[in-house]
Amino acid sequence: MRVVKLEEELVPRGLREAFDRLRARRWDVARRGPGERLARLEKLKALILERREALADALHADFRKPRAEVEATEVLPVLLELEHVRKHLKVWMKPRKVPTPLMLAGTASHVRAEPRGTVLVLAPWNYPFNLLVTPLIAAVAAGNTVLCKPSEKTPHTARFLAELVRDAFPDDEVALVEGGAEVGEALLRLPFDHFFFTGGPRVGRRVMEAAAKHLASVTLELGGKSPVVVDATADVEAAAERITWGKFLNGGQTCIAPDHVWVHESREEALLAALKAALERFYGRTEEARRASPDFCRMVDDGAFSRVRGLLDRTVAAGARVVAGGGADAETRFIAPTVLADVTPDAPIMEEEIFGPVLPVLRYPSLDDVVAHLRAGDKPLALYVFSKDEATVERLLRETSAGGSCVNTVVLHNVNPHLPFGGVGASGQGAYHGEAGFRAFSHERAVLRQGRTSLAHLFFPPYTGKAQKLARLASRLFG
């Protein structure tokens, strides 16, 4: 305990006071029924609807995010989550009866969801509104007090979020703090009951280490190199259009974006041609048109630009062929939507998650090669399969691991609130969205009630020969 106390002493006074206010209200907030919790979320919804244009302005100022993408990927998922919670929260909060085995005759058991307490939500920059507000909704629905921190890489959106949270919630129920990595590090020293983090594996490990010191639970959403497999039976035109949309959405800065494509060698050229055609339909036929397109956003900062540009240049130098795109402009942080062919598994672009608008395409002769490659690497956040052959689909789902998957589309599993969203292994731990989010921010408490009759007394000491025989008999009957 002394180690934890020493770390807490390093936290700036303002952060510590914000945390203490939340913790002091923790039990008052926990006792609220579904009506009171939903009233808080209804106020949040009203403010979002009222300020959606200001949100779009903030996101455009941060990295030129198109207004249509703001609506589709930031506002709409949050509104869907709010509506789903509104419909189902009362049922989720009800104690859930569970069966009673014969040996426990005379008892009744149930499971109740209790709030974890005071929780921390650390949000990323790529979907700075959605990926802060969605877990916040789940945490409030579950009855917690919440401290949020948005990313400093999107300062305009962070300021918007600060005002939104301030106006939607009392500061002893939900608080938001701004700042850089030093603020995030200070927050990790505080004894939160649950840590929710979306970002990269390096910081994810640090969050998990911090949670371990407090014996707190965690939810980690960490991303990874999400592959696409296009087999010989796939509808290439449909696959290309959907892959292009999912890849270049948000400038490729999406944790579940298709990272790279494995295509059967018999369909490679057809897929490359279809990808090029889809890219031109979406963003313009020429490099100049794509640069001027209002529908394509920019890399978030100079560091992100330099990293992705370096991966692209090194991969082309290693022998990859540019099918479309390839251009870049450092001043505006523009990297053209790019498709690469003749990419090998050991190419520089395959070394890490791309998180930018570059799509490598790798050919394969046998599905065995793809399965072996997927098993050898880290488990991705998503795996996408395009195929008309159910045996191929089933094999890839059965013989590989991923946080989630789509068949004959991409990304859309993230939008269904009935599906849990989360990673596995290097791509994350735990899940949220819908009921999964409510459960992530709740502890499932087991409760057993003893009635008037009980068989338990038959096993009380002293352990006579009769008691031993009864225990042995129970083992045979119920074991």
Encode pLDDT of 185-199 as tens digits.
999 999 999 999 999
Strand order in the sheet with 382-386: 321-324, 338-341, 358-364, 260-264, 227-230, 382-386, 404-407
Q: Are 411 and 130 in contact (CB under 8 A)?
A: no
pLDDT band with cut points at 50, 70 and 90 for residue 479: low
Give domain 227-421's CATH superfamily: Aldehyde Dehydrogenase; Chain A, domain 2 (3.40.309.10)
Report the distance separating Cα 369 and Cα 378, nearest Å.
Answer: 16
Please give the share of the chain, as a percent, with pLDDT higher than 90.
90
Burial status of residue 473 (CB atoms within 10 A of its CB: 0-12, 13-18, 19 or more): exposed
Per the rule left: phi > 0, alpha: psi between -120 and 50, beta: everything else, 80 is: alpha
Q: Which two tokens stand for residue 408?
A: 């004959």
Residue 463, pLDDT > 80, answer no
**Amino acid at the residue 275:** L
Q: Which fold has domain 2-222+430-443?
A: Aldehyde Dehydrogenase; Chain A, domain 1 (3.40.605)
Mean pLDDT of 283-299: 95
What is the structure's pLDDT at 1?
A: 36
What is the structure's pLDDT at 469?
A: 77
Query: Looking only at Cα atoms, what is the longest distance across the chain?
Result: 91
Residue 233, pLDDT > 90, answer yes
Per the rule left: phi > 0, alpha: psi between -120 and 50, beta: everything else, 117 is: left
Residue 472, pLDDT > 90, answer no
What is the structure's pLDDT at 457?
A: 73
Report the distance separating Cα 228 and Cα 208, nearest Å.
Answer: 29
What is the structure's pLDDT at 478?
A: 66
Local structure of 108: helix, strand or coil: strand
Local structure of 446: helix, strand or coil: strand
Portions of the chain given CATH number 3.40.309.10: 227-421
Q: Which two tokens stand for residue 448?
A: 């057993």
Degrees to nearest 5, angle at CA 193 with 192 and 199 = 70
Give tens-digit pLDDT for 337-372.
999 999 999 999 999 999 999 999 999 999 999 999
Q: Which two tokens stand for residue 380?
A: 């991705």
Please give the share of the chain, as a percent, with pLDDT higher than 70.
97
What is the structure's pLDDT at 3?
A: 41
Mean pLDDT of 47-73: 97
What is the structure's pLDDT at 455?
A: 73
Return the percent helix, strand and coil in the chain, to nearest 5: 50, 20, 30
Residue 44, pLDDT > 60, answer yes
Q: Are 207 and 218 in contact (CB under 8 A)?
A: yes
Listed in sequence order, the DSSP H helices in 9-75 are: 13-24, 26-30, 34-50, 52-63, 67-70
Residue 399, pLDDT > 70, answer yes
Mean pLDDT of 136-141: 98
Residue 6, pLDDT > 70, answer no
Give tens-digit pLDDT for 81-122.
999 999 999 999 999 999 998 888 889 999 999 999 999 999
Residue 174, pLDDT > 70, answer yes
Of the listed ranges 1-5, 172-176, 256-260, the least confidently predicted one is 1-5
Report the distance separating Cα 52 and Cα 55, nearest Å.
Answer: 5
Mean pLDDT of 236-245: 98
Of the listed ranges 49-53, 286-290, 429-433, 453-457, the least confidently predicted one is 453-457
Q: Are strands 421-422 and 431-432 parallel, antiparallel or unpaired?
A: antiparallel
Give tens-digit pLDDT for 311-337.
999 999 999 999 999 999 999 999 999
Exposure of 213 in the CB half-sphere (CA atoms within 13 A): 18
466 contacts: CB under 8 Å, gap ≥ 6: none
Mean pLDDT of 197-226: 96
Portions of the chain given CATH number 3.40.605.10: 2-222+430-443
What is the structure's pLDDT at 5?
A: 54
Residue 66, pLDDT > 60, answer yes
Give tens-digit pLDDT for 426-444.
999 999 999 999 999 999 9
Catalytic residue list: 221, 255
Q: Which two tokens stand for residue 386?
A: 């395009």
Mean pLDDT of 184-213: 96
At residue 339, φ and ψ (nearest 5 deg) are -120, 130
pLDDT band with cut points at 50, 70 and 90 for residue 4: very low
